[in-house]
C-alpha cells in the first residue's frame, strides 16, 4: 500500500463502459499523486460526487446515458480540470467552447494517459503570474521568481484554460496562472483581437479566415458568437 500522504489530487471517473473505467482506474492507481475518490456511469451520480468531494480532475466520457458529457459540463459551476475520454474524433471541435485539458481517444494507451495527466499537473503547478508592459514591443510576465520577456511580434495566439493562459509564441508555449481578460487589457488592440472567450489572436499572424474560424500557425480557432459583431477581420 502506498501511504495516503503521497496523494495530492482527487479525481473521479465518469464513464459508462465498465472496461474503459477499469483501465482508467488501473492507470490512476499507478500514480502516487492521483487519488480516485469515486467512479460513476452517469451525470447525475457525477454531480453528487462533485458535491460531496473536492475534485481536482475529472475523467469524463462524452457518450453518457441521459445527459451527454458536454451538456453536463456546461451545467457545472466551478468544474474541476477535465480530461475527456471518447471514441469519437468529432467531439474535439465542440470542446473549444469548454475548457478541456486534453482528449483521450479510446482505447486509451498508457503513454497518452501519462501525457494528459502531465498537462493537468503542469496547470496545477503553474504559478500566479504578474504582468508588466515594458513598452509596446514586449511584455514582462513574472511567474514565481522568474521574469519572462515575451516579444509581442512573436505571439501567435493566447489560449485560456480556466484560470490559466497558454501564450503560444514562435519558439515555445508559456503557461501562466492569469485570467485571459488581464492580458487582454494590456495588449495593444491594433495588434491583437479577442475572437472567443478562450482565444486572443495576433492579427498579423492570420493565415485563413472565415465567418466562424481563423487559422493561426496552422491551428483553426473558432470565432465565438458574442465576439463576431466586434471583429473586423
Return the pLDDT at 70. Answer: 80
Return the pLDDT at 92. Answer: 55
Report DSSP state, residue 30.
T
Indicate the CATH number of 4-125 among 1.10.30.50, 3.40.50.2300, 3.40.190.10, 3.20.20.70.
Answer: 3.40.50.2300
Reference 159, options 139, 180, 131, 190; nearest CA is 180
- The answer to whether the pTM exceeds 0.75 is no
Return the pLDDT at 91. Answer: 58
User: How far from the centroid of its chain's Cα atoms is residue 194's Cα?
Assistant: 17
Positions of the chain with pLDDT lower than 50, given as ranges: 1-4
For the domain made up of 129-230, give the CATH fold: OB fold (Dihydrolipoamide Acetyltransferase, E2P) (2.40.50)
User: How far from the centroid of its chain's Cα atoms is residue 15's Cα?
Assistant: 20
Domain ranges of the chain: 4-125, 129-230
Return the pLDDT at 128. Answer: 83
Return the pLDDT at 18. Answer: 95
Return the pLDDT at 4. Answer: 44
Return the pLDDT at 198. Answer: 93
Amino acid at each position: 500500500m502506498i501511504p495516503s500522504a503521497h496523494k495530492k489530487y482527487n479525481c473521479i471517473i465518469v464513464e459508462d463502459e465498465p472496461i474503459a473505467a477499469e483501465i482508467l482506474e488501473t492507470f490512476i492507481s499507478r500514480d502516487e499523486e492521483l487519488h480516485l475518490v469515486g467512479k460513476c456511469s452517469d451525470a447525475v451520480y457525477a454531480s453528487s460526487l462533485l458535491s460531496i468531494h473536492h475534485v481536482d480532475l475529472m475523467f469524463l466520457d462524452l457518450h453518457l446515458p441521459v445527459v451527454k458529457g458536454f451538456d453536463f459540463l456546461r451545467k457545472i459551476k466551478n468544474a474541476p480540470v477535465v480530461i475527456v475520454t471518447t471514441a469519437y474524433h468529432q467531439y474535439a471541435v465542440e470542446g473549444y467552447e469548454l475548457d478541456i485539458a486534453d482528449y483521450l481517444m479510446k482505447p486509451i494507451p498508457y503513454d497518452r494517459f501519462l501525457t494528459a495527466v502531465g498537462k493537468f499537473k503542469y496547470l496545477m503547478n503553474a504559478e500566479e503570474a504578474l504582468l508588466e508592459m515594458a513598452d509596446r514591443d514586449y511584455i514582462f510576465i513574472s511567474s514565481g521568481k522568474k521574469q519572462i520577456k515575451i516579444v509581442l511580434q512573436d505571439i501567435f495566439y493566447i489560449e485560456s484554460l480556466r484560470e490559466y493562459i497558454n501564450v503560444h509564441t514562435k519558439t515555445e508555449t508559456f503557461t501562466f496562472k492569469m485570467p485571459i481578460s488581464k492580458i487582454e487589457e494590456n495588449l495593444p488592440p491594433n495588434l491583437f483581437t479577442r475572437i472567443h472567450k478562450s482565444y486572443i489572436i495576433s492579427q498579423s499572424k492570420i493565415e485563413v479566415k472565415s465567418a466562424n474560424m481563423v487559422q493561426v500557425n496552422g491551428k483553426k480557432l473558432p470565432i465565438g458568437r458574442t465576439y463576431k459583431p466586434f471583429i473586423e477581420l
